[in-house]
Structure 1
């Protein structure tokens, strides 16, 4: 089947923040919210890790918890751990969108079928995929970063998520690495 470029409506919707609830609009259970607050105010990294771990055990599918875990690992530059959490974020968003959790299976038709109310969740999924690509770049795994970036550009022809510069940088780094090998 021949896929066409998304309509102007779809491209506009990728930037429409008024169309539906954002992940953090879903209030976590009070005990989970308290643990997230405890983690954000923790005096030590071990206290923060303990609170986040407790929150994850209580609410493993809560996107507030998943984002808190991602931020924790990202800011510690624990990129391998953040990569696992980015994949978890896509899996959970995929369930809510009723689309493939495996980003490689996501299609332009999936994007075009997404209703206005679900656009923020689709955007969350796509930002998690962009985060995955960026983490791979930070880890020096440029070849692996190509796939997610190319998929994002396939899904977002208008480049609303601004992935083209990352793809260009990734390709440039690969050429540099190729030159270093010779």
Structure 2
């Protein structure tokens, strides 16, 4: 998937997006649609139609899920982004052999403390996106639970969950 597939820069690097470790290779036709989506990002309907074509061809491939997530996220279609974040969590749990319910995942289930490990990082970033979206959509308790799970799995906070915790702590306070 092209790096330009949705600017700002991705938190998940190219190796993750194209990794055969995430199950299977991306079909070339699906990859073509991802490229076309990136080239037409500024044309919402066209970009989304390419993403949906890629999804039809490879519905559970991480590259497709991440492309859909980023598109909906950066287009401020937060409810749709949340639905895809949930699918990303499921896919990440599957490829990491984790419990399907993120609440049951423990720090010793994967190498979460090793940032260079692509598969555990995919899970952490998926959960971070989920937490952020829950907070943005006003579901602060669910967001807080996800942030707390992130900090339990990644106590050195390599992925930046404490930022979300600070947002939660400041909610309802007047800005200085």
Structure-2-length-normalised TM-score = 0.79
1:128 paired residue among 96, 111, 126: 126
Q: Hey, what does 2:68 align to over in structure 1?
A: 69
Higher relative contact order (CA 8 A, sep 6+): 1
> In structure 1, the residue corresponding to 2:26 is in which secondary structure?
coil
The equivalences for 1:74-113 within 5 A come to 74-112=73-111
The CA deviation string for residues 61-91 of structure 1, in whole angstroms up to 9 with x for no partner, is 1111011100110111011110111111111
- Name the larger-Rg structure: 1
Query: 1:133 and 1:165 mapped to 2: Cα distance?
Result: 11
Q: Hey, what does 1:59 align to over in structure 2?
A: 58
| Aligned alpha-carbon RMSD (Å) | 2.5
TM-superposed deviation, 1:170: 0.6
Q: Hey, what does 1:31 align to over in structure 2?
A: 29
Structure 2: runs of 5+ lacking an equivalent: 1-12
Are 2:36 and 2:47, in contact at CA under 8 Å, matched by a contact in 1?
yes
Q: Hey, what does 2:168 align to over in structure 1?
A: 170
TM-superposed deviation, 1:101: 2.6
TM-superposed deviation, 1:44: 2.4
The equivalences for 1:140-179 within 5 A come to 140-173=138-171, 176=173
Answer 1 or 2: which has greater helix percent. 1
TM-superposed deviation, 1:32: 0.6
TM-superposed deviation, 1:38: 1.4
The CA deviation string for residues 32-60 of structure 1, in whole angstroms up to 9 with x for no partner, is 11111111122621111211111101101
Query: 1:108 and 1:89 mapped to 2: Cα distance?
Result: 19
* Aligned pairs, number: 156
Structure-1-length-normalised TM-score = 0.76
The CA deviation string for residues 111-158 of structure 1, in whole angstroms up to 9 with x for no partner, is 35x7x7x92111111011011111122223222210000001111122
